[in-house]
Structure 1
Amino acid sequence: MSEAVLTEVENGIMVVTINRPEAKNAVNLAVAKGIAAAMDELDSNPEIRVAILTGADNSFCAGMDLKAFVTGEMPIIPGKGFAGLCEASPKKPLIGAVEGYALAGGCELALSCDLLVVADNSKFGIPEAKRGLAAAAGGLMKLPRMIPSRIAMELALTGDFIDSARAYDLGLVNQVVPAGTTLEAAKALAAKIVANAPMSIEASKRVIMEQVDWSTEEMFAKQQAIVDPIFVSHDATEGAKAFAEKRAPNWLGK
C-alpha cells in the first residue's frame, strides 16, 4: 500500500491515515489508491470490524491536490470515485476523525464517513466555486441530505466555512472533542461498535444507507430481505444466551 496512506489494525479497528502532511493531506492519485485498497481490506478481512479515517499531523484533508490536477492527474478510482471512497461506501462502519480543516474534497471525504468525531478547532466547507470548480465528489448531493438544504445551498454558493460547533448544531457531526484527541475519541466510539454483533452492524448500516430511496409501501419488505438472515443466525442465539447468562457474547459473525 502507498506510503501516502498508512494503515494499522488493533482490536478489530483499522486506522487509515492520509499521510501527506507537507500538502495538508491533499488527495492525489496515490492517496486515492491507498484509501481504496484500505476499504477493500476493511470489507474483506473478517478480523477488521470498523475503520477510522484520519489525517497526519493534526490535519484532516485540504481537498484535491490542485497542483496534481493542473498536470492532468485525477484522484479518482473507477467504481469508487474521488479519493477511492466518495462513490462507494464500505459495508462496514467508517468513522472520520477530523483535526483541523476538512475542505472541498476533504469535506466530501468526511461526508462519506458514517460517523464523525471532530476537533473543536475544525472547519468544514465546500469552497470549490472559489476555484472555478464544483463539489462534484458528493458535496452537492450528500450535504443537503444531512443538513437543511438552505444551509447547504449557502455553503455551496458562497464557499464559506463552518466551525465544529456549527457543524454539531446542524447535526453534521457526532462528537466535538478537544483538538489533538479525535483519534482517541474515535477509537473509543469504534470499540463500542466492535462489541456488537458483526452481522447486525453491517445490516443496520445497509438499511440506513439504502432506505433513503424506499417508498412507504416497499420499505418493510426491503428491510426484511436484509435483516431476516440475522434472526436465524448463530449470533442471534448467542446474544440471547449471553444476556440470560449475564456474560459478554462471543460473536462469530454467522
Structure 2
Amino acid sequence: MKPRSRVLYEKNGHLARITLDRPEVLNAMDLRMHEELAEIWDDFESDDEMWAAVLSGSGTRAFSVGQDLKEAAGRIREGTAPPATFGSRGKPGWPRLTERFDLAKPVVAKVRGYAMGGGFELALACDIVIASEDATFALPEARLGLMAGAGGVFRLTRQLPWKTAMGHLLTGRSMDARRAFELGLVNEVVPAEDLDECVDGWVADILRCAPLSVRAIKEAATRSSTMPLESAFATRYPWEERRMHSEDAREGPLAFAEKREPRWKAR
C-alpha cells in the first residue's frame, strides 16, 4: 500500500493550495514531508498557470509545530542524525521554502493554531500571513538545545525591532496572533470561522493584479532590502525586465483607457 501523502496539493485556476497534512501530530514536519514539499514547490514554481499559493495546515489545532522531534530523537538514538545548523543543503527536501530566495510568486500563509519552530519559520518566509485569533507563534529552539536555523534567527531580526526579536529568540517565549499583528508579522487577524473567507479575499486581490508585476515587485523588494537606495535603483531584476517588455505591460493601460477589466497573460 502506498504511504499516505504528507502534503495535499491542489490547483484551482491560477491558485495552488498547499496543505501540511499530519494533523495527528500537529503537522510536524518529518523528512518525508520535506521531500514532498520540495517536489510541490518545484512544480508550483515551474507551472506558468500558477500565479499564487496558499500554505496552510490540516485541522484546527496547528499550522505546524515544526520539526518532528520524535523522528529526530529516533535518529539521534540510532546515531544517524548529523549535526544540524543553518539551512537544509544536503538534507531531504532542499531547497525548502525558507531557502527559495528566488521564488518570485507570492505565497500566503493561512495560520490557525500553533505555528512553532519550523512552522513559524515557514510563515516568516511567506509574503502575506493571515491568522485566526487562536494562532500562537514561537521559536522555542533555545529551550531544546537547537537553533532556529531555517531562517528564524535571520528573518525575525529583520522583520521585528532588534530587542523585540531577541526577546523571543533568547527565551522561546510565544506571542499570540494579536501581538504578532501589532508587531507587523501578520497582515490580518480574524475569528477562526472567518479565516477562509479572509484568505480568499487576499488571494482574489493578488490574482486581480498582473502576475508579472507581482513577481517583479516581490523580486525587487526582496533583493533590494539590504541595498543602499542608489544600488537598488541601479540593479537589474530579471522579472522586472520580463514585465517591462511583456504584453501585460501594454494591456494594463489599454484596459484602463477602454474602461474594461484587463486580460492578463503572464507574458
Matched, 1:84 2:107: no
CA distance in structure 2 between the aligned counterparts of 1:35 and 1:182, rounded to whole angstroms: 23
Asked whether the equivalents of residues 98 and 125 of structure 2 are also in contact (C-alpha less than 8 Å), the reply is yes
C-alpha distance 43-83 of structure 1, shift in aligned 2 (>3 A): closer
User: Relative to structure 2, which stretch is displaced further, 218-227 or 194-203?
Assistant: 218-227
Identity of aligned residues (%): 37
> How many residues are paired up?
254
Report the alpha carbon displacement of residue 217 of structure 1 after superposing the two structures with TM. 2.9
What is the aligned counterpart of 1:166 among 175, 179, 188? 179
Alignment of 1:1-254 (within 5 A): 3-58=5-60, 59-72=62-75, 76=88, 78=90, 84-89=96-101, 90-222=103-235, 226-254=239-267
**What secondary structure does 2:59 align onto?**
coil
CA distance in structure 1 between the aligned counterparts of 2:232 and 2:144, rounded to whole angstroms: 41
1:136-166 deviation per Cα after TM superposition (whole angstroms, max 9, x unaligned): 1111110011111101100011111000000
- Counterpart residue identity of residue 111, structure 2: V
- TM-score (norm: length of structure 1): 0.93
1:101-130 deviation per Cα after TM superposition (whole angstroms, max 9, x unaligned): 101111101101111000011110101111
Residue aligning to 2:78: none
1:57-111 deviation per Cα after TM superposition (whole angstroms, max 9, x unaligned): 0220011000111223689464997782111142200000000010111110110
Report the alpha carbon displacement of residue 183 of structure 1 after superposing the two structures with TM. 3.2
- Counterpart residue identity of residue 99, structure 2: E
- Counterpart residue identity of residue 29, structure 1: L
Asked whether the equivalents of residues 36 and 77 of structure 1 are also in contact (C-alpha less than 8 Å), the reply is no
1:184-223 deviation per Cα after TM superposition (whole angstroms, max 9, x unaligned): 3222211111111111111100011111232233111115
Report the alpha carbon displacement of residue 2 of structure 1 after superposing the two structures with TM. 6.4
Could you say what the CA RMSD is over the residues aligned between the two structures, in angstroms?
A: 2.2
Structure 1: which 4+ aligned runs deviate by more than 6 Å? 79-83
| Structure 2 gaps, min length 5 | 76-80
